[in-house]
Structure 1
């Protein structure tokens, strides 16, 4: 089954529940998740004559913001949740000299 594409209407509906003053970011590349600043919206007609809207990062060097926060990658199912290893009980301190 082919995945359905998100429409502009669906995006507007989802975004209407968000804080309108919040910065908009783009999560890219599930194998090396990075966060990008979203700065451009391009409305074009594709080769079949259908309208298509592209969301794009900006043209500046600082558009890529760095690694995607782990909780976002987990929420997108791009990474599995990671838990800290269990703590072991400490052994008694060794005497000076390593004996």
Structure 2
């Protein structure tokens, strides 16, 4: 199975359209989506000698911010949009 990876150029192109004062967070674990603060970015090489940029969360206890907002999980296609259950007619006191 071939994996597609975002390149630094694609990330820069995306970020160039974003609010420059917005914090950067990392969405992790599609089965239990959580948000994390990013603290560092480092460039290195992987086991095949390819240059890779790693984004890392911080070490502080409050680095994990909690659950990812549901609308973000939907945009990432990690969850399906949730519809409210259909309303049922209320029962009357007479039992009908």
Q: Which residue of 1 aligns with 2:23?
A: 23
- Give unpaired runs (5+ residues) of structure 1: none
How far off its partner does 1:45 sit? Answer: 2.4
TM-score by length of 2: 0.87
Which segments of structure 1 move beyond 6 Å, counting only runs of 4 or more? none
Report whether the alignment pairs 1:32 with 2:32: yes
Post-superposition Cα deviations, 1:33-63, rounded to whole Å, max 9, x if no partner, equal 1011111101112333332110011111100
For residues 32 and 3 of structure 1, the distance between their equivalents in structure 2, rounded to whole angstroms, comes to 21
Query: RMSD value over aligned CA atoms?
Result: 1.6
Q: Which residue of 2 aligns with 1:8?
A: 8
TM-score by length of 1: 0.85
For residues 36 and 3 of structure 1, the distance between their equivalents in structure 2, rounded to whole angstroms, comes to 23
- Give unpaired runs (5+ residues) of structure 2: none
Post-superposition Cα deviations, 1:7-57, rounded to whole Å, max 9, x if no partner, equal 111100011011111111100000111011111101112333332110011
For residues 59 and 10 of structure 2, the distance between their equivalents in structure 1, rounded to whole angstroms, comes to 27
Say which one has the larger Rg.
Answer: 1
